[in-house]
Structure 1
Amino acid sequence: MRYALLVGLVMLVLTGCGTSITNPPPIGPESTGIWDKFFVYPLSWLIKESAAFLGGSYGLGILVATIFIRTLTLPLNVKQIRSSKAMQAIQPEMQKLRDKYKNDPQKAQMETMKLFQKHNVNPLAGCLPILVQMPILIAFYNAIIRTTEIREQEFLWMQLGASDPLYILPVVAALTTYLQQKMMGAQIQNNPQMQMFLYIMPIMILVISVTLPSALALYWVYGNIYMIIQTYFLYKDSRSENSSKGGTSK
């Protein structure tokens, strides 16, 4: 739920930025200020240099930038997935506590916190990666709209500085968001509130991606695919470990 709210808030801010900044100042090596110099310009430079290396394709340049950023944040993402798996493992015990103290929410909360401490689980650990992604998303947006070469380039059927006229990319962004959440959130099966956000989040991404530059939606899709592949292999390793332990115990 926190993940959906945080992403939704930032995406709404970006949507607002797109309508309020009509002539944004260009970004370049001469840009000053901590934000422009150390966040926006490096992203702009990375995309342009990657595109130049890949035959002038800025869509592929965004792919390189996405892989670079996601690799840098890989340790945080691994921690998020491990936290998700730990939460999944204690779901049966959490459900028992909910049933046992259904008429005493305060007691249920206290016992749940004790359960977290017992298993060394931090329910907030999963929020850290998305908190890190927030400034990256905003910097990425600024790099797109303030770099003429990126904003005016075309990739496939899209102009990267404009929204997708065929709405294909927003749909793909929504579908990959759903799949990523589904893979990482197997523990939400017993939590109706979280199940609701499993569907709300992709819809939110779909609606907002319709209005954002295609380059930003493309970054979101690339990032989702990266996370889907990463999650698959991490959970695959976990299942292999559990299977080997099961086989050994027999």
Structure 2
Amino acid sequence: MKNKKGLTVTLALSSLALFLSGCVQTTKTGKPYGFIYDYLARPGQAVMQWMAHLFGNNYGWAIIGLTVLVRLVLLPMMVNQQRKSTYQQEKMSAVQPELKKIQAAQKAAKTPEEKTAVSNQMMQLYRDNGISMTGGIGCLPLLIQFPIFSALYYAIRFSPELSSATFVGIPLGKSSFLLAVLAFLSYLAQGYLSMIGLPPEQKKTMRTMLVLSPVMILFVTMSAPAGLGLYFFVGGLFACLQTLIINFFRPRIRREVEAELKKHPIKTPTPAASTTAKPVQATEQTVDDQSSNRNAHPSEGRNAGKQQRHHHD
């Protein structure tokens, strides 16, 4: 479940890097054109210039202001999705005993049929107990931010004012290793906060994937203008904030799960079909073998009967 979440974020960030690398075309004189530039970058430039004017022509604070505005709009949606994910985590903790039994059977399975049967048993455990295979995680907040990423990226790249602006001595039009590291650390901290209060088994499962996402953000921001790195850094701080909000409500979510389990106890999946089919097949084979032996040697039965009558005489 968590692997799917990490894979989704990784693919999304990789797609973002490819998307930003060659969407806008330029003429021989270097003038940009195209759908992305006309409908995203140019409006982005106008918004950034307007916000920079509000902050005393400081484009760094304009980027921070834009990030705060976007994150505040997305905050209810992201908190709601993270709450769903936390709810799924608590339900996963409740089915851990049954899940361990299935995992043990999965390790012991040898034939492809047995492995398939055990996999179906695990899917049945999730389905019967209302556990989502994706952990309640959605990509909508990230997809909504894609136009923001694109607008900010190309606004900085093709706007002379933005590309030449600086913030605390950092050129916003060039890549910044410092901001890339800060963005990496902010999302790494968010991953650490999200593991607070989880059982050890889930922490072990989540640890690798929670590091993979910050690494991808580091990769993207190291090759992007520093203005985008600043956007990611402030966004990571907001991600920490929403995780703290969820951690505050985690005891209440845990009580909700416990109340639901009292009304609807954990449903144990039926044993894998391969474990019950073999004895029946063996019995049927034995009966078939006995029948075939009698049909193959019908004279043996008659001879045995003649010998018994002769002995009696």
TM-score (norm 2): 0.63
1:218 to 207, 213, 230: 230
Counterparts in 2 of 1:45 and 1:120: CA distance versus 1, 3 Å: farther
Query: Is 1:83–1:122's contact at 8 Å kept on the other side of the alignment?
Result: no
Counterparts in 2 of 1:238 and 1:114: CA distance versus 1, 3 Å: same
Query: Is 1:7–1:130's contact at 8 Å kept on the other side of the alignment?
Result: no
Which residue of the partner structure matches residue 187 of structure 2? 177
Counterparts in 2 of 1:20 and 1:46: CA distance versus 1, 3 Å: closer
Query: Is 1:43–1:140's contact at 8 Å kept on the other side of the alignment?
Result: yes
Aligned 1:16-165 pairs, distance under 5 A = 16-17=21-22, 23=30, 25=32, 33=35, 35-36=36-37, 38-92=39-93, 93=95, 95-96=99-100, 97-102=102-107, 103=109, 104-117=114-127, 118-119=129-130, 121=132, 123=134, 125-128=136-139, 129-164=141-176
Coordinate RMSD, CA, aligned: 3.4
| Bigger shift: residues 123-132 or 100-109 | 100-109
Measured after TM superposition, the shift of residue 69 of structure 1 is: 1.4
2:10 to 4, 10, 16: 4
Which residue of the partner structure matches residue 29 of structure 1? none
Consecutive unaligned residues of structure 1, counting only runs of 5 or more, are: 27-31
Measured after TM superposition, the shift of residue 225 of structure 1 is: 0.5
Measured after TM superposition, the shift of residue 150 of structure 1 is: 1.4
- Larger-Rg structure: 2
Query: Is 2:175–2:221's contact at 8 Å kept on the other side of the alignment?
Result: yes
Cα distance between partner residues in 2 of 1:196 and 1:241: 25
Counterparts in 2 of 1:240 and 1:86: CA distance versus 1, 3 Å: closer
Q: Which amino acid aligns with 1:77?
A: M
Over residues 157-214 of structure 1, what are the superposed CA-to-partner deviations in whole Å (9 max), with x where a residue is unaligned? 21111112xx211111111121122333566954766432322332332233222100
| Bigger shift: residues 96-105 or 61-70 | 96-105
What number of residue pairs does the alignment pair up? 237
Cα distance between partner residues in 2 of 1:85 and 1:244: 11
Counterparts in 2 of 1:150 and 1:105: CA distance versus 1, 3 Å: farther
TM-score (norm 1): 0.77
Counterparts in 2 of 1:38 and 1:231: CA distance versus 1, 3 Å: farther
| Bigger shift: residues 110-119 or 46-55 | 110-119
Identity %: 24
